[in-house]
Structure 1
Amino acid sequence: MKYNVAILGATGAVGQEFIKLIEERKFPVGKLKLLASERSAGKQMQVLGETYTVEEAKAESFKDVQIALFAGGPASKVFAPEAVKAGAVVIDNSSTFRMDPDVPLVVPEVNPEAIKNHRGIIANPNCSTIIMAMALKPIYDRVKIKRVVVSTYQAVSGAGKEAIDELTDQVKAIMEDRPVEARILPSASLPKHYQIAFNLIPQIDVFVEDGYTKEEMKMVHETHKIFNDYSIAITATTVRVPVYRSHSEAINLELAGPLSVEEARSALAAFPGVIVQDDPAEMLYPMPLYTSNRDEVFVGRLRPDKSVTYGLNMWVVGDQIRKGAALNALQIAEYMIDHKLV
């Protein structure tokens, strides 16, 4: 059986990744609609050997669509209800619906059972949350997690194509001894911008309560919802780094009981979608350069934290455009098809 699919935001980084993955994974597409803003309408794109013209997204765009993949952004708030009215199931990559109690927030390897409770919309978690959840779940299934301390090292592609271009432009300017322009990071919507080339920016999204950023609090609240466990103490620091693609995370866990490094390594290695790269003697550990364009989340630098009774440190890296966004959404759609939920 084939399914009529719409991709909203088809010309952006996540939208283009949707298209690549649909081709790679042989997703059963019947009719396909590529939707974007008025500015991008009229562009032509090749998908599965056919040429498609990008259409301006409108309320009526979702007629006869069964699965609507939303790449993210403010358009979700406008068009998701319209798509549901038209009979589509929306898998949304924006933050609009993530904390809505009536909307499942899903990482398919972690909480697939939540999918069946959807009312037309399923939310994709934040990219850094997805990558962390993939590493936490096999540990959580062995021993209850009491506390998580996470620091992220997030690639510029998490801020969109414009941020990728700006990193390139800034590096070229520095190499050519030209003035460096900063217009995008931490966010194009903010009044002040900083150079990212050869720099780190300890702000992703806007500041909210107690000096935390919105990105940091997303990791807290979304992880609680995905695991349906609000007893886990979580604190996060999120940092933008001059890397094109793949987010890295240093994760420190305090566990409720004993779990050896060997047991943790075994649990992670057996978990679907996780690859363990952890051999200090051979200098083997995950790095963003080598995890980009990969579907899996990579874990290494496993070692005990001896400052607490039961502690574990790990280094986690994953491609945030694939598993952190487009792949996770497509896996949700595949799960729905496999379980006849669409």
Structure 2
Amino acid sequence: MGYKVAVVGATGNVGREMLDILAERAFPADTVVALASRRSLGQEVSFGDRTLKVQALDQYDFSDTDLCLMSAGGETSKEWSPRIGAQGCVVIDNSSAFRYDLDVPLIVPEVNADAVVGFSRKNIIANPNCSTAQLVVALKPLHDAATIRRVVVATYQSVSGAGKEGMDELFNQTRAVFTAGEVRVQKFTKRIAFNVIPHIDVFMEDGSTKEEWKMVAETKKMLDPKIKLTATCVRVPVFIGHSEAVNVEFERPLSAKEATQILRSAPGVLVDDKREPGGYITPHEAAGEDATYVSRIREDITVENGLSFWCVSDNLRKGAALNTVQIAEVLINRKLISPKRKAA
């Protein structure tokens, strides 16, 4: 008997990606339900070769549903995830609502799959921020090898991280530039077309942004609380795919050659580092792919035991939808959940 899975936020970028990935990976579901707010009631979304009609979240009964993949924003998750969990349905939440809750595991399967057992406290599992997910996939095997002391990371984050509105704004502004039209700024704080914006999420008292704080807090929770990390998060005019320039300081020596060998055998990582023009991965190549790509691996001679590298991933997949589905697969593969039997 297969599982019954509900996807909340099914009409959004990540929700649609979740449905695609469930179908691609032949997830063992007998039933998949698409849910969203009432304004999306009756819309149609694709699931493999099938079409699903969107149902309203506030009218749906989760008592016979095994898994809920939640991608409807923090406020919706705060309201609904505890209710859904109380009905015996395990929620895997893509928002930031529960990431820092000590009773909710924050999971990237390649990094800390064992921590998933903590889901039973609230029947909620959190998915990390998109920029953190790809970073820790690359850091984990290096940390195991030489113990990371400090990380300095600058991100180059695509507009899809801001949802469909962000993608529309880049498209409309780019068209306006070429047609000498009016460049309208609505979603972002400044023009994004042919520009970069060093500001993602709200500013905090210390001058960092919430996005930067998330990377610090989530890396510590999932990988090691002793790691020191500082981030500068930047929005760039790319539709899909986040890139990161990463500098790492280790407790023990780790050469670029050793790091390359370690990363080549690490789960979820693909190394493409030819040290020649074009011998690296950009967001364009990473879009639509599952891996976290690592290039430009080199030693940093300005610090003891230093290493730098370039890391790219599709933020809608590994940064959100794929990681969510992988968490669900961990639950099933480790026999932590079983399909509910319908009453006769």
How far residue 40 of structure 1 moved from its aligned partner, in angstroms, is 1.1
The structure 1 residue matched to 2:269, chosen from 262, 274, 298, is: 274
Give 1:179 shift.
Answer: 1.0
> 1:216 corresponds to which residue?
212
Contact 2:16 2:46 in 1 (8 A): no
Q: Which residue of 2 aligns with 1:76?
A: 77
Deviation at 1:59, TM superposition (A): 6.4
Aligned AA (2:15): G
Using the TM superposition, give the Cα deviation of residue 42 of structure 1 relative to its aligned residue in structure 2, in angstroms: 1.2
% same residue: 49
Contact 1:105 1:124 in 2 (8 A): yes
The question of 1:241 aligning with 2:236 is answered yes
State how far apart, in whole Å, the 1-side matches of 2:90 and 2:133 are.
21
- Contact 1:131 1:297 (C-alpha < 8 Å) held by counterparts: yes
2:92–2:126 CA contact under 8 A, matched in 1: yes
1:144 and 1:52 map into 2 onto residues whose CA distance is 47
Deviations 1:200-235 (A, max 9, x none): 0000000012100000000000000001x2211110
Question: Is 2:221 the partner of 1:225?
Answer: yes
Task: Give SS of 1:100's match.
Answer: coil
**3-state DSSP of counterpart to 2:131:** helix
| Paired AA for residue 89 in structure 2 | A
- 1:284 maps to 279
Helix, strand or coil at the partner of 1:316: strand
- Name structure 1 gaps, 5 residues minimum: 186-192
The 8 Å contact of residues 59 and 79 in structure 1, kept in 2 or not, is answered as no
Query: Partners in 2 of 1:287 and 1:47 — Cα distance?
Result: 29
Asked if 1:57 is matched to 2:57, the reply is yes
The unaligned stretches of length 5 or more in structure 2 are 338-344
The normalised TM-score by structure 1 is: 0.96
Residue equivalent to 1:302: 297
- The question of whether the paired residues in 1 share the 8 Å contact of 2:10 and 2:45 is answered with no
SS across alignment from 1:245: coil
- Please state how far the C-alpha of 1:39 moved relative to its aligned partner: 1.3
Q: Which residue of 1 aligns with 2:96?
A: 95
2:28 is aligned to 28
Distance 1:138 1:72, change over 3 A: farther
Q: Deviations over 1:48-83 (max 9, x none)?
A: 333321011116432311000001402111110111
Q: Could you tell me which residue of structure 1 aligns to residue 334 of structure 2?
A: 339
The CA deviation at 1:172 is 0.5
2-side partners of 1:72 and 1:138: how far apart?
A: 32
Does 1:261 find its partner at 2:256? Answer: yes
- Pairing of 1:144-223 with structure 2 (within 5 A): 144-185=147-188, 193-223=189-219
Residues 112-137 of structure 1, C-alpha deviations (whole Å, 9 max, x = no match): 00011212000000000001001101
Preserved contact between residue 108 and residue 328 of structure 1 (Cα < 8 Å):
yes
SS state at 2:234 partner: strand
Conservation of the 8 A alpha-carbon contact between 1:62 and 1:82: no
Distance 1:97 1:209 in 2: 22
CA drift of 1:19 comes to: 0.8
